[in-house]
Amino acid sequence: MNKVELCGVSLKNPVIAASGTFGFGEEYKEYFDIGRLGGISGKGLTINEKQGNNGIRVYESRGGMMNSVGLQNPGIEKFINVELKEMLKHNTAIIANVGGSSIEDYMAAIERLNNEPIDILELNISCPNVLCGGMAFGIKSGVAYDMVREVKSICKKPLMVKLSPNAEDIVDMAYKCCEAGADALSLVNTFKGMAVDIHKRKPIFNNIYAGVSGPAIKPMALRMVHEVCKAVNVPVVGMGGISSFEDAIEFIMVGAQAVGVGTANFIKPDICIDIIEGIESYMIKEGIKDLSEIRGII
């Protein structure tokens, strides 16, 4: 009953496990049937394997958390040969999230993924934890436009661009990405934040800045999704601090086609199921037959 379509791909429900919080699904299968998810957006991939950042990688902030993983991932080749094969067993939409530090990296990764059985390609131009690691492309709309245009010219999959809330102007950014050919948008990635160790008189994170996620960012994320949904015609996957079905419904009411659940997976590993079931009972209770009845009503 709450099936949704996302750039030509049919999702059994609007709940997608967000990139970077769900591995490639393997670790969560002991806690619930992964096939019940609308989709999985896998851990951000780069053309070559990456070991990620040194130093502290996680720090809890009020109402949320900060991470500085730095795109640690097995690389595209190993992903295709190992993790993707496991993901395919789950009967859920597969979104491959791709990052990089140069346009050549992105192009090589996309070329390699073009003929693999993934449903959607999510272009990560928003990772705050790698120098030039994606987010460099996600700050200025002009830079993002050129990047998306190049990628779109070779990409054979539906292309979803994941936006950073750190963009100079989120609406202009969204608009330019669509103009450059994005088939969908997902937002928001983490907010750039920082924390200081006052005893050492140094930043907590080696990279100084880190990505803030969790319930604390939800109001800002919701506002951005609202603004973007008003400005573009492509479907938007809304995310940022979603931890309950009520949060998910809020994002749908401001216009999101589907929603991403990230940090909440750490609080309770099967929270996506609670959210999926919560949406279903809400729909029954409110007499909603299709989510389109409430989508974008605000």
Partner 1 sequence: MKCLVAKTYENVLISEGVYKLSIKGKFNVKPGQFFMLKVGEKEPLLPRPISVYDVDDEKISFLYQTVGGGTKLLSKLKENDELQIMGPLGNGFDIEKIKGKIAVVSGGIGIAPLIYLIKKLRDCDIDLYAGFKAVDYSVDSVEKYVNKINLSTESGKIGHKGYITDLIVPQKYEVVICCGPEIMMKKVISMCNDAKVPVYVSMESHMACGIGACLVCTCKTKAGNKRTCKDGPVFDGKDLMFNDILEVGSTATKEMI
**What's the min distance (Å) between Cβ of 161 and partner 1?**
23
Give the one residue of 52, 117, 142, 219 binding partner 1; rule: CB under 8 A.
Answer: 52
177 flagged as catalytic:
no
Q: Please, is 156 exposed, middle or buried when counting C-beta atoms within 10 Å of its C-beta (0-12, 13-18, 19+)?
A: exposed
Compute how many residues bind partner 1; rule: CB under 8 A: 40
3 state SS for 223-287: HHHHHHHHHCCCCEEEECCCCCHHHHHHHHHCCCCEEEECCHHHHCCCHHHHHHHHHHHHHHHHC
Give the one residue of 57, 162, 226, 295 binding partner 1; rule: CB under 8 A.
Answer: 57
Q: Does residue 20 belong to the site contacting partner 1 (CB under 8 A)?
A: yes
**Distance (Å, whole) CA 18 – CA 3:** 18
Neighbours of 10 (CB within 10 A): 11
Q: Does residue 86 belong to the site contacting partner 1 (CB under 8 A)?
A: no
Strand order through the sheet with 209-213:
58-61, 64-67, 209-213, 191-194
**What's the min distance (Å) between Cβ of 196 and partner 1?**
8
Burial readout 250-269 (b: 16 or more C-beta within 10 A, e: otherwise): bbbbbbbbbbbbbbbbeeee
**Distance (Å, whole) CA 279 – CA 290:** 11
Catalytic-labelled residue, pool 7, 127, 132, 229 = 127
Q: Which stretch binds partner 1 (CB under 8 A): 46-54, 94-102, 174-182, 224-232?
A: 46-54
* φ/ψ (deg, to 5) at 233: -105, -5
Give the one residue of 7, 56, 103, 231 binding partner 1; rule: CB under 8 A.
Answer: 56
**What's the min distance (Å) between Cβ of 178 and partner 1?**
31
Stretch 276-295: interaction string toward partner 1, x if CB under 8 A: --------------------
Give the one residue of 12, 31, 146, 231 binding partner 1; rule: CB under 8 A.
Answer: 31
Q: Which of 16, 142, 24, 17 is nearest to 73 (CA)?
A: 24
Q: Which stretch binds partner 1 (CB under 8 A): 1-9, 27-35, 126-134, 144-152?
A: 27-35
Cβ contact 21:15 at 8 Å: no
Any alpha helices (H) in the chain, and if so which ranges?
Answer: 76-78, 84-87, 103-113, 135-139, 141-154, 170-179, 218-231, 245-253, 264-267, 271-286
**What's the min distance (Å) between Cβ of 43 and partner 1?**
8
Q: Does residue 154 belong to the site contacting partner 1 (CB under 8 A)?
A: no
Stretch 170-209: interaction string toward partner 1, x if CB under 8 A: ---------------------------xxxx---x-----
Q: Does residue 48 belong to the site contacting partner 1 (CB under 8 A)?
A: no
**Catalytic positions, written as ranges:** 127
Binding site for partner 1 (CB under 8 A): 20-23, 26-28, 30-31, 43, 51-52, 54-60, 62-65, 67, 69, 72, 197-200, 204, 214-215, 263, 265-270
